[in-house]
Structure 1
Amino acid sequence: MRFDRYTVILLTLRADAPVMSEEEAAELQDRHLAHGAELQDRGLVLARGPLTEQDDERFRGFSIWSVDAETARKYAEADPAVRAGRLAVQVMTWMMPAGNIQFTKVRAPRSIAEAAADEE
């Protein structure tokens, strides 16, 4: 049996994350969203989004990448929220029977305001 392999990244809230004002956190989130949208536009990220209603509140985001683990880690570690010490990167390979899943290119939000407007 053939298997498709994808790199998966789980973003977790660091225990030692810096304390930020609401304004600082919102500005960092906008830069985080813009970074991810750019990677998605370039085809490096196939799907990504926040995690909610999970058992472990440290889990913040999940993404599926079209590139190898080393390359994905390099780009994920360049995320402004990771560089600021708020999020940590966990990288793994996900395998499934070939052709089991397909991804459609979509436009990703680049800011909190854009993401909120999409919900309306």
Structure 2
Amino acid sequence: MRFDQHTVVLLSRPADAPELPRDAADRLQNAHLAHQAGLVEQGLVLATGPFLDPDDPTLRGLAVLPIAAEEARELYTNDPAVRAGQLVVRVASWMVPEGNVRYESVGVPRSMLEAAAGD
């Protein structure tokens, strides 16, 4: 059997994340979303999004990439929220039977305003 390999990036909030004023946190979230959207537009991210009500409340989001784990780690190390200490990156390779998972090209929000417009 043949397999497709994807890289999964898990983003979590560290226990020692610095507290930010609301306006700074909002600016940082917008920068994070813009970074994610840029990766999607470049074809480096196949799917991405936040978690809702995870068993582990430190889990914030996930991304699936069609590139090697180390390259994915480097891309996410440059995420503004990671650089600011608000998120931590965990990376793993994910194997699925060839053709088992397919992704559609869809846009992702570049800001909280765009994300809210879908409500």
TM over 0.5, shorter chain = yes
How would you bin the TM-score normalised by the shorter chain?
over 0.9
Runs of 4+ more than 4 Å apart: none
Aligned equivalents of 1:5 and 1:77: distance in 2?
Answer: 21
Could you say which residue in structure 1 is the equivalent of 2:116?
116
Aligned equivalents of 1:49 and 1:69: distance in 2?
Answer: 18
Taking structure 2 as the reference length, the TM-score comes to 0.98
Residue-by-residue CA offset, 1:46-100 (whole Å, 9 max, x unaligned): 0000001111100001000011001100000000000000100000001110000
Could you say which residue in structure 2 is the equivalent of 1:70?
70
Could you say which residue in structure 1 is the equivalent of 2:15?
15
Could you say which residue in structure 1 is the equivalent of 2:57?
57
C-alpha RMSD of the superposition: 0.5
Aligned equivalents of 1:73 and 1:10: distance in 2?
Answer: 10
Alignment of 1:1-120 (within 5 A): 1-119=1-119
Aligned equivalents of 1:60 and 1:29: distance in 2?
Answer: 12
Taking structure 1 as the reference length, the TM-score comes to 0.98
| Structure 2, gaps ≥5 residues long | none
Residue-by-residue CA offset, 1:5-57 (whole Å, 9 max, x unaligned): 00000000011101001111100000000000000000000000000111110
The count of aligned residue pairs is 119
Aligned equivalents of 2:86 and 2:72: distance in 1?
Answer: 18
Secondary structure at the residue paired with 2:5? strand
Aligned equivalents of 1:66 and 1:30: distance in 2?
Answer: 24
Secondary structure at the residue paired with 1:56? coil
| Structure 1, gaps ≥5 residues long | none
